[in-house]
Amino acid sequence: MQQFGQIIRRMSGWVMLCLALATSACASDDTAPDYRYRLTVEVETPEGLKTGSSVIEVKQRLVRAGSSPANMAVERRVRGEAVAVDLPGGKTLFALLRSDNNVDWASYVMQTLAPHLDSETFAQQLDNMLLLKGEIVLPRTFPPVGHLKERSAYPMLVTFGDLDDPTSVEEVDPDDLAATFGKGISLKRITVQMTDDPLTAGIERRLGWLEAHGRHHASLKPSGSRYLDEAQLINLVTHGDFSTELYR
Q: What is the pLDDT of residues 113-162, one digit of tens each?
A: 998 877 777 777 788 888 899 999 999 999 887 777 888 999 999 999 99
pLDDT, mean of residues 86-102? 94
What are the C-alpha distances in Å from 152 to residues 55, 190, 217?
A: 21, 12, 27
Average pLDDT, the chain: 81
**Coil, strand or helix: which one is 14?**
helix
Q: What's at 166, amino acid-wise?
A: P
Give pLDDT, residue 43.
98
* Alpha helix segments (H runs only) across the chain: 2-28, 105-113, 122-125, 178-181, 210-215
How many whole angstroms separate alpha carbon 44 and alpha carbon 102?
Answer: 27
Statement: residue 25 has pLDDT above 50: no
CB 193 within 8 A of CB 38: yes
The radius of gyration of the chain's CA atoms, rounded to the nearest angstrom, is: 23
What percentage of the chain exceeds 90 in pLDDT?
A: 51
| CB-based contacts of 161, cutoff 8 Å, min separation 6 | 168, 170
Would the CA dihedral through 232, 235, 240, 241 be positive or negative? Answer: positive
CB 158 within 8 A of CB 222: yes
pLDDT, mean of residues 204-221? 80
Confidence of residue 235 (pLDDT cuts 50, 70, 90): low
Please state whether beta strands 186-195 and 35-45 pair in parallel, antiparallel, or not at all (unpaired): antiparallel
Judged by average pLDDT, the poorest of 72-76, 92-96, 115-119, 226-230 is 226-230
What are the C-alpha distances in Å from 33 to residues 9, 61, 111, 125, 128?
A: 40, 8, 11, 11, 10
pLDDT one-digit tens code per residue, 148-206: 788 899 999 999 999 999 888 899 999 999 999 999 999 999 999 999 999 999 999 99
Longest dimension (CA), the chain: 91
Statement: residue 10 has pLDDT above 90: no
Give pLDDT, residue 228.
46
What are the C-alpha distances in Å from 77 to residues 150, 159, 181, 245?
A: 24, 25, 33, 12
CB 42 within 8 A of CB 189: yes
Give pLDDT, residue 212.
83
Confidence of residue 30 (pLDDT cuts 50, 70, 90): low
Q: What is the pTM of this model?
A: 0.80
Phi, psi of 206 (to 5 degrees): -80, -40
Statement: residue 220 has pLDDT above 80: no
Q: How far is CA 228 from the centre of its chain?
A: 20
Across 30-39, 89-98, 139-148, the highest mean pLDDT is recorded for 89-98
